Structure 1
Amino acid sequence: MISAIEDLEVSRLTLSVRDWEAIFDYCEKRSIRCLGVERVFVPEVSGRARELVSGVRRFFPLAKVYSVFGTSSVPVAAVVRLDSENLKSENGYLYLGTFLPGVEKKIVSPHLASAGTTSLRLEDRIGELFLARSNEGDSHVCSETGYFALVDDLGEFWLCGRTGDGINASFGTFVPARCEPVFERHAKVSRAILISLKSKVGVRPAVVVEVLPRMMPRGAQEESKLRAELLQFGAEFEDTKLILYFFFTERLPDLRRDDGEWNRTALSRRFTRLAWLKAFF
């Protein structure tokens, strides 16, 4: 973790209180100021938040500081680059992100990575990992697309989402694993699905929102209020600030691919038609 900060290869950081204290001590002893860090996510800890923010602003003078209530409220953030040598370590080398609802499968524990039938192969990309499985002594990559992952407080890796599942819009590619967890932080949202809408002026990103039972907005005023709250959530992060369209439903359409993933193409077609009927554009 420290070496990654020294090399200025980190743009976003989310750390535990103990990790922050270690970094502050390291920077203090060596008179280091980390100018390459753009965003810092500080855990909100009773009696300690002000102290942590003060330290962050001292040693990360160019970073924008966000206070968060636990790692599950943070969108996927690249932290450090791992390699086969330090993957065996249980301390100091983390990938952070958010849980996606319904994803409960543990990928691998750091201390089991070299011993079990499941191993990790990490490409030269910050914040992405590739799953590989041992096959009669030879490892092969299960998928060509990377995965965003989370290490929880117990040191377990959790799947956040594939980096290859992108929505191509007129002004860039939007990755569900980066965008959907931002809106799923809202207290009324059960699930958010990223789709694309075809308008007269191009392709726009949008989100289909499954609202929790008995929390569906009734009437234009309630719907407008919920939309405004989601826009505020999205405005906090680069990955979501350009998402302006939302559709609310009590139950998501059962449109999935053969592999069980959401069929975003079919969802996009369905809600594009609805957008035209509602005169969104």
Structure 2
Amino acid sequence: MNIAWRLKKQAEIQPQKIAVKFPKRSYGGQYQYSSITFQELDHESDKLAYQLLKKGAKRGDRVLLFMRPSLHFHAMVFALYKARLVPVMIDPGMGRKNLLNCIKQCKPTVMIAESEVQLARKLFSKSFENICLSISTGKFKFGADYSMIELLHGETGAVDFEQTPDDELAAILFTSGGTGAPKGVLYTHGIFDRQTSMLQELFSLTPSDVDIPGFPLFSLFTLAMGLTSVIPDMDPRHPAQCNPEALVKNILDNKATFIAGSPAIWERVADFCVSHHLTLPTVKYVVMFGAPVRSELHEKFQRILTLGDTYTPYGATECLPVSLANGKALLRETKEKSQKGHGTCIGLPVPGVQVKIIKATDEEISNLDKIEELKSGEIGEIIVTGPTVTPGYDGNDKATLLAKIQSNSGLWHRMGDVGYLDEKGELWFCGRKGHVYRDSTQVKYSIPTEAIYNNHPEVLRSALIKYANSPALVVQLKNPKSYSCDRREQIKKELIAQAQNFDHTKNIKTIFYAKSFPVDVRHNIKIDRQKLGQMATEGKLL
């Protein structure tokens, strides 16, 4: 089933219901919202699909898509699905070298992009050498063959997409490259459809809910469920720099019930609400993904939400969702255990998903028969199988062989993370496999180790690194500019003394300070521990 069928169905059931709202701030600080109904969204995507095919795009063509959130963004994405074209989505913030490599690797033949990317095509033509058709998203072409305005003013016609097979390629979504080279994940229409059903069931979402997506692609799921999606006033490329006052206004103006995105967004929103004594009375779900969420953030939202709760789904671009935990249960049942260095509880596997913990290895695992499965409570590599496991990576057979395990019961994905299953079957996250410290006498996992130091009242966060062939720690203080040298040295002594109470931290004697931590480009929250280790080696830390 083509995922665009869900939009067509919503347009038939509730044609006049608002599908997407887009904010524009007035001089008085209030917002005016332009909008588009489900019927209008469906008709616009029909027209764009027809026009793209008429202008020369062919079924199966790969379409490089760089488009800012707008009223037309969702229409364009659904148009690509209807035309059975394959959108290629890459994080623009991953750096020029990675970005150009990704484009060159996936060989798109169509490009729909903002003016900056149209200009980049001229400057770095080799990466764009396969482009045969280019559409500018703005009013002006900037060297493109057509502007999107021209397509929207063109005629419409029938586009047949109802017979799309489940296993037909629907999109290529690149990983952020936060823990290695970015890879293009192959998504089929069937996977998108099953993800939509799973997410709708997990959160009991109905068309009466209102979504504010901190991560733009998430709204494609909620629109497919029939929800109104309100585009927030923020730059999705920089979630950690969002304006919390603007987001709170967007939430309150639209009586949002479902808000989702990086913890970096909701940290700022929570701090703003607490400092201004605000509540979010209509919000039922605050969904945070991309990295482990601190207990303090769950606690803040318990004061802010009068009806709802926080939720932390676990997964990856290659398989989402895997498990789900909610804030109230975490604070009540697992907070203390996490603070004592037992990892972060990420909940029970969602229905339809199976999780195993195996002995960690960096080698390929060709078949499930070759794994060594670990017992409850033993930390190892996390592998998962279920209806949303993606088949592999585009043009990267080596990475696919390393990440996938064949079995008679279905394909398994190696998450690249370490953790364990407890006696209740709940999954606990202990960090990335590549962030494990290991030498001839000891093994240390990042999340359990860092938790001990994060308990200090003046520590914002910490990171386990390898330094001079020994384990070391990097700390970011909550107010780094307010400490004298003597006080920083005293805090180091306090942290080392605190660590003596735990076997897995008592031999860490080297602690550095960093004013800020390098983080991933997508969620602005995953710590780049390898880079911190390099900074320590180069003498760039205090």
Give the TM-score normalised by the residue count of structure 1: 0.49
Q: TM-score of the superposition, structure 2-length normalised? A: 0.27
Answer with 1 or 2: which has the greater Rg.
2
